[in-house]
Amino acid sequence: VAYARSKQSEKAVTHFKRVPAGGPYFDQAQAQAAYLLKTEGQSDDGLKLLEKPVVDKKAGPKMLTMYASLLDDRGETKKALQILESAILSYPKDTELHFYFGTLHDKVGDKKKVVEVIRSIIQMDPMHLQGINYLAYTFAEQGENLEEAEQLARKAVKIDPQDGYIMDTL
């Protein structure tokens, strides 16, 4: 982490890769290594790093989210959605998996699924700031459920009045 924070990505990746499988930090370390590889223009290496744990069903939610992100970056959005759908079955309470799943549905134009997924996130975590704001913005963008959109946006502002994205939604 210190190497990553000091912009020494190569050293950070080397050390993240050393975190043992099955350990408490494996999921986070591998996801972080893949992210750093992505930022260095080495997305294919990030995919290779995560592929074995994903295939072997040893990937946790952070790795699965990053793997789906890397697939989406390559234009393989449908495959990314399949990975996330499967991941949600394994980690049904992980709101970040759900959130990314919802945003990918938005990317492919399935607004009905977006609303369904984001509502489920807010039901799991009524203070999920990203979810509240995303749903408010989605409704406003569509010109639908505008009263609910305003209520959601005002709730989000109460949670974080300094966030520019939230103020934009309101």
Query: Which ranges of 40-94 would DSSP assign to H, the alpha helix?
Result: 43-55, 61-73, 77-90
Q: Is 8 left (phi over 0), alpha (psi -120 to 50) or beta?
A: beta
Residue 33 · residue 45 · CB < 8 Å: no
Query: Which segments of the chain are extended strands (E)?
Result: none
**pLDDT per position as a tens digit, 102-122:** 999 999 999 999 999 999 999
Whole-structure pTM value: 0.89
**pLDDT per position as a tens digit, 152-165:** 999 999 999 999 99
